[in-house]
A and B are shown apart, each in its own frame.
Chain A
Amino acid sequence: MAADGNPLLRIDGVSVRFGGIVALDSISFDVAHGQICGLIGPNGAGKTTLFNCLSRLYRTGAGRILFEGKQLLDVPRHRIAALGIGRTFQNLALFKTMTVRQNVMIGGHCRSRGGFLANALRLPFVAREERKLDERAMSLIESLDLRRVAEVPVGGLTFATQKRVELARALAGEPKLLLLDEPAGGLNHEEVDRLRETIVSIRDRFGVTILLVEHHLNLVMRVSDKVVALDFGRKIADGTPAEVQQNADVIRAYLGAPAA
């Protein structure tokens, strides 16, 4: 899918420590254009930490992260969205007092440019931009089945609905790479099935590459083109879902028992 054969994302020897804890220990892997890449591992394996490195929320001790060949670690966190990396958060990070629609519109902040002066005077381009942002937000709200709650402050919505708002907000930034941190949190079986379809259709419709963190292994294995497994900050497997599922270290990490 990549015209030039280079990966969209290259993680190269990334390490992070918190005091004595090594949260990530020299992690390396690639994600190709258009792939859905699953990222699995037991609690505390370092999955969210890796996302936070990509969002530049955590400082990396060593290593490089290349996005479209560009060194991400030189980019301040507020420029990440404009480069084309969008994300959702494991424990929700919505703007609670604002409505669903406003939250999704903020997702489009990086794709608009009206500053203080232009807004204060409500220049014509600001009004135009605002209309475009609003239309895009409403179409995402529609496609993620959030129409009914569009004008409701997000603070009062259920966890699962808020997760969907986060997804819509991330898509409003028109990302090339989408980081999903446990999107199935709070969903029942049926809803997980629907989510699987949603993830695939997002990839196909918007042409985004997806890095998916999820404990729901069934979902990950069915939807991913490739899976990377972490345990205690180290990479223990990297391959197709079938390969990773049979990997002895992965089985041991998940079952806590020595491999047969």
Chain B
Amino acid sequence: MAIISETTRPVAASFAGLPLRTWQTLGVALVFIVACVLPFTTSSYHLFQLTMVLVYAIALLGLNILTGFNGQVSLGHGAFYAIGAYTTAILLDNTAIPYWATLPIAGIVCLGAGFLFGLPALRLEGLYLALATFALAVATPQLLKFRGFEKWTGGVQGIVIDKPSPPAGVPLDSDQWLYFVCLAVTVPMFLIGWNLLRGRTGRAIVAIRDHPIAAASMGIDTAMYKSLTFGVSAMYTGIAGALGALAAQFVSPDSFSVFLSISLIVGLVVGGIASIFGVLFGAAFIVFIPNIADQISKAAPWAIYGIFLIGFMYVLPTGVAGGVKRLGSLLGRMGKR
């Protein structure tokens, strides 16, 4: 059985004599070194922004696992970000639990919340699921203002939290310390995400997106996988929310409006759907572009933001990750000549 006129070629396995794997490792190492050096070279405001890039990168990774890899569109991930943020804030406000210990608790709370939301979401697909999650995002600020919870949530006022300070003897200021705390969470979260997506579970997650019926016929428990994926995704975004609360030292209902959820979707698409490293670029877009837009025009920053977004989609229609991939295969082909 001859294979005639196949239209795709295999992904280039090497470039400039080195296997692609080596390039990837080098790239990751470089990013890590830059991430370690940056906090010593910037002002404290820029450092705050870099911290937020890490925070959003974790949140976006969570959203990407669900929407990019598993194909369940969520327009409401801001809600899980908020749940994570409030979990940390409430714990710090009411208990003596150290700030770092609130992070796994926020993660577990969101894992549960995501799993439970994922169960009824099994009945919804595509735009219907998008609407259901959107409803969650719309309702969140109002639920957070609800009188009955005011004792814990602080109602409209929100909760102010103390900035974590570095342990005695560590020669870092508190901004730098917070940055490294976020980095110390980001790295293992990415490692776990990569592990989850590269093996048996990752194949199943993508198989469900590509062809749910065939996936079930291969023995994948699609319902269980989808709800667990929802849970894991919410856990990521919730941990990001918890870190974000520490960084902002403040939570209030209006910090978690629908716009947050939409920003996360923007970051996802900009970085690249179903890409792990792309979320770093998506996170940078979320943090820096509104700022840059503001510097360009105080009068109409969101118009400038819109122009950036449209321009970006025009230049990189498959996100940063897609662009890099195309560039890679172009270089690979040139290298072969």
Q: Pick from B9, B217, B220: contact of A93, CB below 8 A.
A: B217
B201 lies within 8 A of chain A by Cβ: yes
A73 lies within 8 A of chain B by Cβ: no
A133 lies within 8 A of chain B by Cβ: yes
Q: How many A-B residue pairs have CB under 8 A?
A: 128
Does A114 lie within 8 Å of B201, measured CB to CB? yes
Contacts of B13 in A (CB 8 A): 151
Query: Closest CB-CB distance, A220 to chain B, in whole Å?
Result: 19
Q: Given A57-B213, A149-B3, A158-B4, are A81 and B199 also a contact pair (CB < 8 Å)?
A: no
Does B228 lie within 8 Å of A116, measured CB to CB? yes
Contacts of A89 in B (CB 8 A): 214
Q: Given A156-B8, A195-B1, are A80 and B199 also a contact pair (CB < 8 Å)?
A: no
Query: Closest CB-CB distance, B278 to chain A, in whole Å?
Result: 15
Q: Identify which of residues 207-223 in chain B touch chain A, using a CB-to-CB cut-off of 8 Å.
A: 207, 210-211, 213-222
Q: Given A82-B219, A95-B206, A107-B218, are A145 and B211 also a contact pair (CB < 8 Å)?
A: no
Chain B: interface residue count, which band?
Answer: 35 or more
Report the separation of the CA atoms of residues A88 and B30 in the bound assembly, to the nearest whole angstrom: 45
Does B195 lie within 8 Å of A161, measured CB to CB? no
Contacts of B173 in A (CB 8 A): none
Chain A window 107-122, contacts with chain B (Cβ cutoff 8 Å), 1 for yes, 0 for no: 1011010111001111
Report the separation of the CA atoms of residues A194 and B213 in the bound assembly, to the nearest whole angstrom: 30
Contacts of A82 in B (CB 8 A): 219
Contacts of B220 in A (CB 8 A): 78, 106, 109
Contacts of B202 in A (CB 8 A): 119
Q: Given A106-B203, A119-B196, A121-B195, are A95 and B217 also a contact pair (CB < 8 Å)?
A: no
B41 lies within 8 A of chain A by Cβ: no
A191 lies within 8 A of chain B by Cβ: yes
Q: Identify which of residues 1-59 in chain B touch chain A, using a CB-to-CB cut-off of 8 Å.
A: 1-11, 13
Q: Identify which of residues 243-270 in chain B touch chain A, using a CB-to-CB cut-off of 8 Å.
A: none
Closest B residue to A89 by CB, please name it: B214
A64 lies within 8 A of chain B by Cβ: no
Q: Identify which of residues 132-157 in chain A touch chain B, using a CB-to-CB cut-off of 8 Å.
A: 133, 145, 148-153, 155-157
Query: Closest CB-CB distance, A199 to chain B, in whole Å?
Result: 13
Report the separation of the CA atoms of residues A198 and B213 in the bound assembly, to the nearest whole angstrom: 27
A130 lies within 8 A of chain B by Cβ: yes
Q: Of B199, B215, B221, which is in contact with the most chain A CB atoms at under 10 Å from its CB? A: B199
Does B218 lie within 8 Å of A119, measured CB to CB? no
Q: Pick from B1, B192, B221: contact of A78, CB below 8 A.
A: B221
Report the separation of the CA atoms of residues A35 and B108 in the bound assembly, to the nearest whole angstrom: 52
A217 lies within 8 A of chain B by Cβ: no
Contacts of A110 in B (CB 8 A): 218-219
Contacts of A97 in B (CB 8 A): 206, 210
Does B217 lie within 8 Å of A55, measured CB to CB? yes
Q: Given A106-B207, A120-B195, A161-B6, are A130 and B214 also a contact pair (CB < 8 Å)?
A: no
Contacts of A153 in B (CB 8 A): 8
Contacts of B215 in A (CB 8 A): 95, 106
Does A152 lie within 8 Å of B203, measured CB to CB? no
A96 lies within 8 A of chain B by Cβ: yes
B200 lies within 8 A of chain A by Cβ: yes
Q: Pick from A80, A93, A109, A152: contact of B200, CB below 8 A.
A: A109
A176 lies within 8 A of chain B by Cβ: no
What total of chain A residues lie within 8 Å of the partner, measured CB to CB? 54
Does B5 lie within 8 Å of A116, measured CB to CB? no
Query: Closest CB-CB distance, A138 to chain B, in whole Å?
Result: 14
Report the separation of the CA atoms of residues A257 and B172 in the bound assembly, to the nearest whole angstrom: 91
Q: Given A87-B217, A126-B200, A194-B1, are A120 and B6 also a contact pair (CB < 8 Å)?
A: no
Contacts of A105 in B (CB 8 A): 203
Contacts of B201 in A (CB 8 A): 114-116, 119-120
A187 lies within 8 A of chain B by Cβ: yes
Does A114 lie within 8 Å of B206, measured CB to CB? no
A129 lies within 8 A of chain B by Cβ: yes
B85 lies within 8 A of chain A by Cβ: no
Report the separation of the CA atoms of residues A105 and B198 in the bound assembly, to the nearest whole angstrom: 12
Contacts of B203 in A (CB 8 A): 98, 102, 105-106, 109
B204 lies within 8 A of chain A by Cβ: yes
Does A98 lie within 8 Å of B192, measured CB to CB? no
B232 lies within 8 A of chain A by Cβ: yes
Report the separation of the CA atoms of residues A88 and B99 in the bound assembly, to the nearest whole angstrom: 53
Does B200 lie within 8 Å of A119, measured CB to CB? yes
Report the separation of the CA atoms of residues A151 and B196 in the bound assembly, to the nearest whole angstrom: 21
Between A and B, 28 residue pairs with Cβ closer than 8 Å are A78-B221, A81-B218, A89-B214, A94-B210, A94-B211, A95-B206, A95-B207, A95-B211, A105-B203, A106-B215, A109-B203, A109-B204, A109-B218, A109-B220, A110-B218, A114-B201, A115-B201, A120-B195, A121-B192, A126-B199, A130-B199, A151-B10, A152-B10, A156-B8, A157-B7, A158-B6, A161-B3, A173-B219
Instruction: Give me the 4 closest cross-chain CB pairs, A-B, nearest first.
Output: A110-B219, A156-B8, A81-B219, A93-B214
Contact surface of B with A, Cβ cutoff 8 Å? 1-11, 13, 192, 195-196, 199-204, 206-207, 210-211, 213-222, 228, 232
